[in-house]
Chains A and B, each alone.
Chain A
Amino acid sequence: MRRITRIATVGIASAALALSATACGDKSSDSGSSDSTEKSAAIAYDIGGRGDQSFNDAAYAGLEKAEKDLKIKGAEAEPTEGESEADKVQRLTELARKGNNPVIGVGFAYAPAIEKVAKKFPKTTFGLIDDNSKTGPNIANLVFNEEQGSYLAGVAAAKASKTGTVGFIGGVEVPLIKKFQAGFEQGVKDTNPNAKVLSTYLTQPPDFSGFAKPDLGKAAAKGQLSQGADVIYAAAGLAGSGAIEAAATEGKWAIGVDSDQYNQAGLSKYKDKILTSVTKDVSGAVYNLIKSVQDGKAQAGEVRYGLDANGVGLADSNPQYKSMAEVLAAVEKAKADIIAKKITVKTAP
């Protein structure tokens, strides 16, 4: 009897302690509120957080650059898997309350949350990447013409392919990645109407592991290679590195995405076979927004990054790519045509 009582008492006491912590308190989480004169900007990441070698890292690079050049303080917050809209609202509210300006939500998932929070903090500028549907006087919608960059990748792929079959690998089947697919397919077909494009998606939402698991990308790429593809374009975040590995191992071309993957340390083993990369200048967009706020001319409304402003584009770090005169010429011509609006690139396949 004694022993149970003792175990139980200790247990109950500790449980009560842990639980009572949730029950009391009357402040709200703005305790560290904006008394600081130091200027700061904040980023709320998309799923995956910092270290995804892709989208979130690009946003962080923009913040890092701003910290150095503009002498501001950067704050970051990461989401938890399976969180709800309420968590996003809470995260943005906390970042805004702490006096960060601008507060940038990385990814379209932040759209409904930013719409709610922006109304509560009219003096703070909110950046929303990849979404144009929720607007407001203090919301800057940073959007990209991914389909234009992908179109150029399609042109390059069609020109570089010997078999006439090229592959597209999308991470998760969401409208954003379909833009990449649409542009790529159109670019291939416009360049070589007889070419065949194999398109594969790794996962379906809400399973976002298609952006995170290189083994999925590798398996999909192997499948496409065995069907005769000799250029593979993977728009799949971290999973894309698996596709690059598979293509390079068989001596075929791979096309990277988001940042210039030829220069990425983790992929240096395969870089000779990374033909080019479709770049999406998220870091530049983040930096520009922070700078505009510091300069007192905060961006608002749609800020579009297309081929014309180098917001999207093709990287040319691979010397082999630079030596392909025919490919380069075709890409340059397509680029000029898109900027001159002679070619309109579709946003859905």
Chain B
Amino acid sequence: MTTEIAVPEDLWEGDTEGVITSWLVSDGAEVAQGDLVAEVMVEKAQYEIEAPLSGRLAIVKEEDEVVAKGSVIATLES
């Protein structure tokens, strides 16, 4: 089963775009539900993105790429 990891709609206030500053796991790594996987920066504030469930992670949006709320940044194969 493939699950998308999207930027949560309520991660920050307003509709400002953000940028992925760091992936904290490697592409193709096995992650557990709740693991911190990425950081997104919006106007000098950093927000954390966690794995919604366990599985093998495939990165869709690389570091330094611009993301909006709802953007799919990775997929999980479980």
Are A and B subunits of one complex?
A: no
Interface residues of B (CB under 8 A from A): none
Interface residues of A (CB under 8 A from B): none
